[in-house]
A and B are shown apart, each in its own frame.
Chain A
């Protein structure tokens, strides 16, 4: 069965650069979520989209933005990168806002140097 696809798997950027992470949800899933997991930390919710509209927003820095496109894939854009942005970024998708469960992607490991 198709899973949630995230790209790239690994990304190395320098401070103040910009990064774009992509997420391709499971077909027919209507909601996409982004999470950030710092080293040794639990995942923290960033933002979500339902039917291509932003549905919820968490502790996402103003330097970050995200959108969901007509084909339901989503992109997380991060600008003016800081060392503290180094983390594992997960995308998850669900049907019906998660009442049936969620499927997470394998994540993108972002390292800012």
Chain B
């Protein structure tokens, strides 16, 4: 079964707009991560947020984590066509062995 569920499944926006993707999970976690994947390519790590953190920034990326609601959001500000990709959240389900459980991902398309 899937740990993370991203919504929306697909998001289409214009360049310059902000893109918000959400992720929900069902168990306790040590941390939650967001990854980006261009079509058929490798996974690129974006941000890791720990369970005791509520918000984290990296450049145009902002991630929030609400452990009471078991949800996280990824905000990409001032989006660019190059941001077009699939975005996945992944959690560890509280495991200390390092295994990641991925959600189904959000396909983001940014139109020039």
When C-beta atoms are compared, the residue in chain A nearest to B42 turns out to be A106
Q: How far is the CA of A58 from the CA of B68 in the complex (A)?
A: 28
Q: Is the CB of B42 within 8 A of A105?
A: yes
A107 in contact with B41 (CB, 8 Å): yes
In the bound assembly, the distance between CA atoms of A113 and B71 in angstroms comes to: 40
Within 8 A of B (CB), among A10-37: 31, 33, 35
Q: Which residues of A contact B103 (CB under 8 A)?
A: 42
Interface residues on A, range: 20 to 34
Q: Chain A residues near B88: list those with CB within 8 A.
A: 42-43
Cβ–Cβ contact A104 & B44, under 8 A: yes
Contact indicator per residue, chain A 100-113, by CB within 8 Å of chain B (1) or not (0): 11111111010000
In the complex, the answer to whether A43 meets B102 with C-beta atoms within 8 Å is yes
Could you say which interface size class chain B belongs to?
A: 20 to 34
CA distance A48 to B42 in the complex (A): 18
Given contacts A101-B48, A106-B41, contact A56 B99 (CB under 8 A): yes
> With a CB–CB cut-off of 8 A, which chain B residues contact A99?
30-31
Instruction: Give CA–CA (A94, B45) in the complex, Å.
Output: 12
User: Pick the contact of B42 from A33, A41, A90, A101 — CB < 8 Å?
Assistant: A90
> Closest chain A residue to B90 by CB distance?
A43
Residue in A closest to B96 when the chains form the complex, CB atoms: A97
Known contacts A42-B2, A42-B102, A42-B105; decide if A97 and B97 are in contact (CB<8 Å).
yes
Beyond A42-B88, A103-B45, 5 additional pairs, beta carbon < 8 A: A55-B98, A58-B99, A99-B31, A102-B33, A102-B45
B residues with CB within 8 A of A: 2, 30-31, 33, 35, 40-45, 48, 88, 92, 95-105
